[in-house]
Amino acid sequence: MSEHSGPHHTSKMAGADGDDSLYPIAVLIDELRNEDVQLRLNSIKKLSTIALALGVERTRTELLPFLTDTIYDEDEVLLALAEQLGNFTMLVGGPEYVHCLLPPLESLATVEETVVRDKAVESLRKISQEHSPVDLEVHFEPLVKRLASGDWFTSRTSACGLFSVCYPRVSSTVKAEIRQHFRTLCSDDTPMVRRAAASKLGEFAKVLELDYVKSDIISLFTALASDEQDSVRLLAVEACVSIATLLPQEDLETLVMPTLRQAAEDKSWRVRYMVADKFSELQKAVGPEITKNDLVPAFQNLLKDCEAEVRAAAANKVKEFCENLPEDSREQIIMTHILPCVKELVSDTNQHVKSALASVIMGLSTILGKDNTVEHLLPLFLAQLKDECPEVRLNIISNLDCVNEVIGIRQLSQSLLPAIVELAEDAKWRVRLAIIEYMPLLAGQLGVEFFDEKLNTLCMAWLIDHVYAIREAATCNLMKLVEKFGAEWAQNTIVPKVLGMANDPNYLHRMTTLFCINALSEACGQDITTKQMLPVVLKMSNDQVANVRFNVAKSLQKIGPVLDSNALQSEVKPVLEKLATDTDMDVKYFAQEAISGKLVFPPPAAETSLYVRFYRSGKPDDHAVFLSSSTVLSLA
Amino acid sequence: MAGVSGGNDFQWCFSQVKGAIDEDVAEDFGGYVASLELVVGSDRVPDVTVLRPSDIISTVEFNYSGELLATGDKGGRVVIFQHEQESKNRPQLRGEYNVYSTFQSHEPEFDYLKSLEIEEKINKIRWLPQQNSAHFLLSTNDKTIKLWKISERDKRAEGYNLKDEEGRLRDPFRISSLRVPVLMPMDLMVEASPRRIFANAHTYHINSISVNSDHETYLSADDLRINLWHLEITDRSFNIVDIKPANMEELTEVITAAECHPHQCNVFVYSSSKGTIRLCDMRAAALCDRHSKFFEEPEDPSSRSFFSEIISSISDVKFSHSGRYMMTRDYLSVKVWDLNMENRPVETYQVHEYLRSKLCSLYENDCIFDKFECCWNGSDSAIMTGSYNNFFRMFDRNTRRDITLEASRESSKPRATLKPRKVSTGGKRKKDEISVDSLDFNKKILHTAWHPKENVIAVAATNNLYIFQDKIN
């Protein structure tokens, strides 16, 4: 909102005595304390409306003090409040008065609920930018100090996120104090605070002068990375990335690498997991030389780790790690150091490890080129296509495109087909669902001929699966195939089979025909829809099962836009009118819906009550502005 | 007569008793809170009433500072007592514990899938380290763990726009100015609100919950599995121990208790029905099926009997505050183990050795399966555990002296010194001794708690909570 609209608007409202436009605001203010949490939430979300009506003066002197003590409320209300206050600067009178927002945000920064605290810190960070340098030292920095030396760890954890935003804009004496506070928090008694400090270490390092990074941050980093609690140590790994980025290459070896090496071999698997998880970032941060000398052996160790979680995290990074290796020695490193480990992982005992590897391994083919792929990777792909765990097979199939580019899919298709068929017939419907979702991709890779020959029957079989989710996905799959192969292909291969199911004795299969028509009509176009599909739909309006009949009504509504107006008038309308007099109430309902051609969207429950009350008072329009536009539209 | 306090001699004296007076006499049962009012000093004539099973206390726990004391009962209620500052009216008593908050933590439920009733009984309460002005605790029944927040409110918002002070509606079209509510002081109100519900993770009955020293996770143990939870995440937990055999016919032992190490966030122990304790290191692997230490005392073949296995089952395990030792309770003894020595305990204390000859009848009346808990004093120099006949035992680890005390109405006069009790085992009974045969096995003290800093203890005797403290002369 613009700077002058606020006061202008307010004077108009306050000026008119007994102005009934105050009424909705009065409701909003009273509902800040309503018993219904949804109404309170509503009011908090419209806090700017309240503040606007009160004017900047009363917002500062009355509304904010009230909000400062409102921290007893439900989390979702506090969360909304913390968020609102981050955008409140103009409503309290602009940057000059922005410090008035500090007390309520300070109390929100001490609540026990992490999401609320984080949001309060986020808002504090936001409004810190709106403080003048003087205000920052007079108001903001003391708040940070208060939080940092608070009795409870909730306030100290919140302080950790605020140092970096005020540090660059304060005098050097205050900077020294801030560094001291941060140091203290890094050795706090409670692990919660040390964790918060560790997670903000990288961010804080970024705003520090390089000399202080070397003197202060490195010692804190080293201390946190050897904390007695592994939950703290693992967060130091994250900080390692940012710190390494900041330091000149020649300092990395002495200042960062000892700690990083230690983390990669930590006794706790959770720390090693973190190293594996952040490996690509670490690799970029330390540069090619250290990568070659240190990270390659470290990565090999992680791929062979005794804990499966660590191996899985490392396996996930195989492709990225290889991609980012220095180009001159990339192939040699992969072939001699990485590939042997990868080969072992293909037959790992843990299926999560295998499936993590399967989701990235195909990416190696682009890096290694055709010959190496055929010689070294292809046997691995083939082995994984035969893996006992369906997830592994699925992950391989879902990444076929990478391989297709390098060696062409024909090399694989012999093994591919049995793998696909097996997944398509898996006893677990979720596995069947997953393979259906890859069908359009596979069809694109394998081409129309291979598809027609080998996969088409599978796609049609899914339409009569006994699980609804599979039938539904199968119809959606058909639509995507038609988009890929075109209407003509559809007319020859799919449409006849789909329409044939309209005479199936099972009504569920007859309904599948209708669902398919719904999905296909647009992709097939007017001609096929009008000439081939419409007659079938119309004929089904005489079905003996009511569910089929009302789905006919729904289908007619759905395919209506694709049909020409002639057919609509002469064929569709009489059928719908007949259905509208059906004995079954659902059929009647949907037929009428289709005739009137519109859907009813009920208004959101939360706002109804507020609105209905206004509505009953007879003046809905005056208050419509306070409701979301969608509600106004549907009810006005 | 000397008490047990870790070196310093003093006497234990009565402080308070909470709850209905015995089975046959009770305070006015108008409500549970009424029944928990301080009985001492009350001059009301108690009504005759019967013991309600739902009032039986099932767990007792001090918070980290000792300022609050929580009890849970079979009726699913949690009652929190707060340590009052010393009062001028009764200068002879140091601060008393008075009811601070009472709430219904768990309700009886029915599992329709398994056709099982789920009792509301509170199996365990564990306090969280204090993080702001509010207090938090975890309470659990057999299946569901809940995180509760206990907070104070002393301000109330006043002033509405649409109604006046008496609550009458104002004419909505005559509002000429807006009122922002103002916060006014009010009487202190304590609220207990459920913050998180951790459900659907246990197939068997939960016997332990324990908050980790990293302040963000806790574990919960049932008969066959141990799960690790994040305090902020309710929709998933990690299974870290699973001893369920593929074939339930092969089941030979169950998990009886589990606890996190007080300082090392990666270490926890669990005890089994076979009398062994396993210590696991969560750093080594995500699944802790393989223990890193195994504590077991070799069985003495000469004392082997039909009951050996039952009485060796561990009913409770507790780390010392220092983290160096742990204590286990089995049916007849308490053992203290040094974490660095796995092959035998460093100390063994007999709790009620005189029952060894009566195991047969204790087996018949099911008492042999009672799960006694045990606790350390604040400095780890003394330990306490319960027995029958409303007796409880204390052992001084330095002097090796032990004492038997009784939680009873007779000695419940303010500042009355507790007299040591003796059970006679031989034929000849001395004065003041009680014969083994006249012990009341229905009066058992299963749950006790020791203030983390002071010599104040809380002892749950059926539906009564006794609080004793050291006597200051």
Per residue in A476-496, pLDDT (tens digit) is 999 999 988 888 888 888 888
Interface probe for A, chosen from B173, B176, B177, B180 (most Cβ of A below 10 Å), is B180
Name residue A211's beta-bridge partners: none
Q: Which two tokens stand for residue A26?
A: 């009065």
CB of B194 within 8 Å of a chain A CB? The answer is no
- Quick check: B214 and A229 CB within 8 A? yes
Our separate counts of H helices and E strands in chain B read: 3, 34
Q: List beta partners, residue B138.
A: B126, B147
pLDDT at A216: 92
Residue A584: partners with Cβ closer than 8 Å, 6 or more residues away: A546, A549, A550
The Cα A245–Cα A622 span in angstroms is 57
What's the pLDDT tens digit per position in A169-219? 999 999 999 999 999 999 999 999 999 999 999 999 999 999 999 999 999
d(CA A310, CA A266) in angstroms, rounded, equals 12
Grouping H, G, I as helix, E, B as strand and the rest as coil, residue B345 is: coil
How confident is residue A611, by pLDDT bands cut at 50, 70 and 90? very low
What sign results for the dihedral spanned by CA atoms A202, A208, A210, A215? negative
Question: To the nearest whole percent, how much of chain A has pLDDT over 70?
Answer: 91
For residue A191, list chain B residues with Cβ-Cβ distance below 8 A. Answer: 213-216, 265
Per-residue pLDDT, A210: 93
Nearest CA in chain A to B264: A229
Which residues does chain A have within 8 Å of residue B260's beta carbon, measured at their own beta carbons? none
pLDDT value of residue B21: 58
| Cβ contact, residue pair A112, B232, below 8 Å | no
Q: Which residues on A lie below 8 Å from B266 (Cβ)?
A: 230, 268
- Quick check: B176 and A33 CB within 8 A? no
Q: How far apart are CA A164 and CA A149, in angstroms?
A: 17
Residues paired with B118 in a beta bridge: B109
Do the chains contact at B130 and A26, CB–CB below 8 Å? no
Prediction ipTM score: 0.81
Instruction: Return d(Cα B360, Cα A607) in angstroms, integer.
Output: 69
Contact yes or no for A617 and B172 at CB 8 A: yes
Select the more confidently predicted residue: B305 or B146.
B146
Burial class (CB in 10 A: 0-12, 13-18, 19+), B260: buried
Considering only residues A381 and A617, tell me which one the structure prediction assigns the higher pLDDT.
A381
Query: Are residues A267 and B283, on separate chains, in Cβ contact within 8 Å?
Result: yes
Does the pLDDT at position B35 exceed 50? no
Structure tokens at A494: 């799919």
A234: nearest CA partner in chain B: B283
Q: Which residues of B touch A159 (CB under 8 A)?
A: none
| Residue that the structure tokens 């301000």 belong to | B155
Residue B174: list chain A partners with CB under 8 A.
18
Taking residues B8-20, what's their average pLDDT? Answer: 80
| Phi and psi at residue B247, to the nearest 5° | -115, 120
Q: Are A514 and A552 in contact (CB under 8 A)?
A: yes
CB contact under 8 A, A268 and B266: yes
Angstrom distance (rounded) from CA A537 to CA A518: 10
Q: Give pLDDT, residue B103.
A: 97
Q: Confidence band (pLDDT; 50, 70, 90) for A17?
A: very low
**Cβ proximity of A631 and A603 under 8 Å:** yes
Banded pLDDT at B417 (limits 50, 70, 90): confident
Pick from A72, A147, A268, A349 the residue to mutate for testing the B interface (most B CBs within 10 Å).
Answer: A72
Which candidate in B178, B218, B238 is best for mutational testing of the A interface (most A CBs within 10 A)? B178
- Mean pLDDT over all residues of chain B? 87
pLDDT in tens, B356-397: 999 999 999 999 999 999 999 999 999 999 999 999 999 999
Query: Does B180 contact A at CB distance below 8 Å?
Result: yes
Closest Cα in chain B, distance from residue A490 (Å): 45
Q: Which residues of B touch A228 (CB under 8 A)?
A: 263-264
Question: Does pLDDT of A558 surpass 70?
Answer: yes
Residue B265, pLDDT above cutoff 90:
yes
Query: What's the confidence (pLDDT) of residue B4?
Result: 53
**Which pLDDT score is estimated for B8?**
52
Sign of CA dihedral B21, B40, B446, B130: positive
Query: What mean pLDDT is predicted for residues A383-403?
Result: 86
Q: What residue type is B132 in one-letter code?
A: N
* A626 neighbors A49 (Cβ within 8 angstroms): yes
Task: Reply yes or no on whether the pLDDT at B160 is more than 90.
Answer: no
φ, ψ at A363 (rounded to 5°): -65, -20
According to the model, what pLDDT value does residue B45 have?
40
Mean pLDDT of chain A: 86
Give the integer Cα–Cα distance in Å for A468 and A509: 10
Q: What residues pair up with A11 in beta bridges, in sequence order?
A: none
- pLDDT of the residue at A417: 82
Chain B, nearest residue to A194 by Cα: B214
In this predicted structure, what is the pLDDT of residue A598? 45
Please tell me which residue, B283 or A601, carries the higher pLDDT value.
B283
Interface residue B110 vs chain A (CB under 8 A): no
Picking from A18, A229, A266, the nearest residue to B174 by CB comes out as A18
Model confidence at B303, pLDDT cuts 50, 70, 90, reads confident
Alpha-carbon span A468 to B310, nearest angstrom: 53
B450, B377 in Cβ contact below 8 A? yes
Interval A276-308: pLDDT, tens: 999 999 999 999 999 999 999 999 999 999 999
CA distance B228 to chain A (A): 14
What is the pairing mode between strands B145-158 and B182-198?
antiparallel
Over residues A562-584, the mean pLDDT reads 86
Q: Rounded CA gap, A241 and A232, in Å?
A: 16
